[in-house]
Amino acid sequence: QETVKIGTLMPLTGGLASYGQFTRNGTLLAQKIINEQGGLLGGRELELVNVDTQTNPQAGVDGAQKLVSVNGINAIVGALSSGVTIPVAESVTVPGEAVLISPSSTSPVLTTLDDNGYVFRTVPSDSLQGVVAGNLAADLDHESLAIIYVNNDYGQGLNDAVIEQFEKRGGEVTASIAFEPNKVSYRSELMDAASENPDALLLIAYTDDGGITIIRQALENGYFDQFIFTDGLKAPEITEGVEQYLEGMRGTAPTSMPGGKGPELFTELYEEEFGEIPPKPYIDTSFDATFVLALAIEKAGSTEGPAIRDAINEVLAEDGMLVNINEWDKAKELIAAGEKIRYEGASGPVLFNDVGDSMGAIGIWKIEDGDIVNESVEVQ
């Protein structure tokens, strides 16, 4: 019997390589649960076809192109980077009528994208993270701030949101500088950013294609000693070799909603399957994106794009019957009975508004002894 295919666009190389492997595990865990509990569409197995986006829009679009027009796939989880997700949506999945759920693309642009309802995400927009980060900076008593951000929709959106909030709180942003990924040296950007001696650097970047380099070069040339990070740098890798300088620095990142048993259950299942779960974001949301797509396919009874799109909002409802992340069986029965579902996801309850965004929470994290620990959570 033919399998049911879902595409995944995960970066195994490039700027988000250190996230991709784990978010992919999230999707694999969902696949495992679904297949162990009898598959979907009357016993067909779920197959995940992954394409490495290389955290690079071009590779992402080329990969998505293949998923849609060659493999005939109409449901995709991905991509992580907003810089990849947006062109994939605009150039491939929207015109190709395929559903795309990103587990981590936080750019505000996604909210307003002209997408015929084909694009969703299981995280909140950066209009929220920006507020939290702006407040964080102000709460840390910084009066002035320089921002260096990756030149894509994520960097720009978050940059704008932070500036707005920080200025609202009376702070001054002395410099806001976009950078290109993968350069050997960011000394000129840093020199510009430091030129008016701001209190801290707020860095919006991904780990491997610039973030770590900027942190190190900022430190070793004495440009900055106070930092605020965002979700792209919530990875222990950033502290290696510079632990003593980063001790106590804080950052923001989307996190699971407090309460509800999804997150706990997810950690348990994940560690059973793959070992310890790292403090990185978006592993849970990747699981959820996969699970929700499966629900929608089951509901639609078809693998056609428009049907899946419509099914998503038909099947999920706040007041539906509760389904936990390990209860695929139950979900299928409910769908068969025509019931709506309240999905208690790995990152908390998953519900989309009419532009495909979902609710969520932003956490504040902190570097302690070279490790990343969650400090507090701010809810929308």
Partner 1 sequence: MTFAGVFSYLVFFLIFVGIYAIMTLALNIQRGFAGLFNIGIAGFWAVGAYTSAIVTKGPTPDHLGGFGMPFIVGLLTAGLVASVLALLVGIPTIRLREDYLGIATIGIAEIIRLVVKNEAWLTNGVRGVSAIPKPLAGIFGSNYNLFFLLIVITVIVIFYYLSEKGINSPWGRVLRAIREDEEVVKAAGKNVVRYRMEAFILGAFMMGVGGALYAHFTSFISPEAFRPMQATFLVWIMLIIGGSANNFGSIVGAFLTWGIWTGTEFLTGMLPAAYTTQAAAVRVILIGIFLEIILLSRPQGLFGEKKYSSKKTAAEN
Partner 2 sequence: MALQLFLNGVILGSIIALGAIGLSLIYGILKFGHFAHGDLMTLGAYFAFLFKVQLGLPFWLAFVLAAALTAGTAVLLNLILYRHLKKRDSVIVMISSVGAALIIRNFVLLFWGPQNKFYEKAIQMPIVLGDGLLRIKENQIIILVLALSLVVAVHLFLSWTKLGKAMRAMADNIDLAQITGINTERVIIWTWAMSGVLTAAAGILLAFDTHLTPVMGWNLLLPLFAAVILGGIGSPYGAMFGGLVIGISQEMSTLIISAAYKPAVAFTIMILMLIIRPSGLMGKKV
Residue 14 binds partner 2, judged by CB under 8 A: yes
Site string (125-144) toward ligand LEU, x via CB under 6 A: --------------------
- One-letter amino acid at 378 equals E
Binding partner at 71 among partner 2, ligand LEU, partner 1, none, C-beta below 5 to 8 Å by kind: partner 1
| Contact code string over 190-219 relative to partner 2, x by CB under 8 A | -x----------------x---xx--xx-x
188 binds, among partner 1, partner 2, ligand LEU, none (CB under 5 to 8 A by kind): partner 2
Tokens 């208690």 belong to residue: 344
Would you say 232 or 356 has its CB closer to partner 2?
A: 232
Work out which of 222, 248, 275, 338 binds partner 2, going by CB under 8 A.
222
Does position 242 interact with partner 2 (CB under 8 A)? The reply is yes
From the list partner 2, partner 1, ligand LEU, none, partner contacted by residue 282 (C-beta under 5 to 8 A by kind): ligand LEU
Quick check: 71 binds partner 1 (CB under 8 A)? Answer: yes
Q: Which of 32, 36, 38, 72 binds partner 1 (CB under 8 A)?
A: 72
C-alpha 334/C-alpha 321 separation (Å) is 8
Q: Per rule CB under 6 A, is residue 81 in the interface with ligand LEU?
A: yes
Report cis status (omega within 30 of 0) of the bond before 331: no
Class of residue 140 by CB neighbours under 10 A (exposed 0-12, middle 13-18, buried 19+) = middle
Q: Which of 52, 115, 209, 231 binds ligand LEU (CB under 6 A)?
A: 231
* Choice from 118, 166, 227, 282 touching ligand LEU (CB under 6 A): 282
**Among 53, 74, 93, 106, which residue sits at the site for ligand LEU (rule: CB under 6 A)?**
106
Tell the burial category of 185 from Cβ atoms under 10 Å away from its Cβ (0-12, 13-18, 19+).
exposed
Decide if residue 314 touches partner 1 (CB under 8 A).
no
Closest to ligand LEU by CB, 81 vs 174, is 81
* Contact flags string 82-101 toward partner 1, x per CB under 8 A: -x--xxx-xxx-xx------
Site for partner 2 contains 58 (CB under 8 A): no
Among 8, 25, 50, 107, which residue interacts with ligand LEU (rule: CB under 6 A)?
107
Considering the complex, state which of residue 40 and residue 205 has its C-beta at the smaller distance from ligand LEU. Answer: 205
Give 76's strand partners.
7, 100
SS (H, E, C) the chain: CCCEEEEEEECCCCCCHHHHHHHHHHHHHHHHHHHHCCCECCCECEEEEEEECCCCHHHHHHHHHHHHHHCCCCEEEECCCHHHHHHHHHHHHCCCCCEEEECCCCCCHHHHCCCCCCEEECCCCHHHHHHHHHHHHHHCCCCEEEEEEECCHHHHHHHHHHHHHHHHCCCEEEEEEEECCCCCCCHHHHHHHHCCCCCEEEEECCHHHHHHHHHHHHHHCCCCCCEEECHHHCCHHHHCCCHHHHCCCEEEEEECCCCCCHHHHHHHHHHHHHCCCCCCCCHHHHHHHHHHHHHHHHHHCCCCHHHHHHHHHHHEEEEEEEEECCCHHHHHHHHHCCCCEEEEEECEECCECCCCCECCEEEEEEEECCEEEEEEEEEC
The nearer residue to partner 1, 62 or 310, going by C-beta atoms, is 62
232 binds ligand LEU (CB under 6 A): yes
Using CB under 8 A as the binding rule, whether residue 70 contacts partner 2 is answered as no
Over the window 141 to 180, marking each residue x when it contacts partner 1 by CB under 8 A and - when it does not, the resulting string is ----------xxx--------------------------x
Q: Report the first-to-last Cα separation within the chain, whole angstroms.
A: 44
By CB under 8 A, tell whether 13 contacts partner 1: yes
The site for partner 2 (CB under 8 A) is made up of 13-14, 17-18, 180, 182, 184-185, 187-189, 191, 208, 212-213, 216-217, 219-222, 240-242, 245
The site for ligand LEU (CB under 6 A) is made up of 16, 19, 80-82, 104-107, 154, 206, 231-232, 282
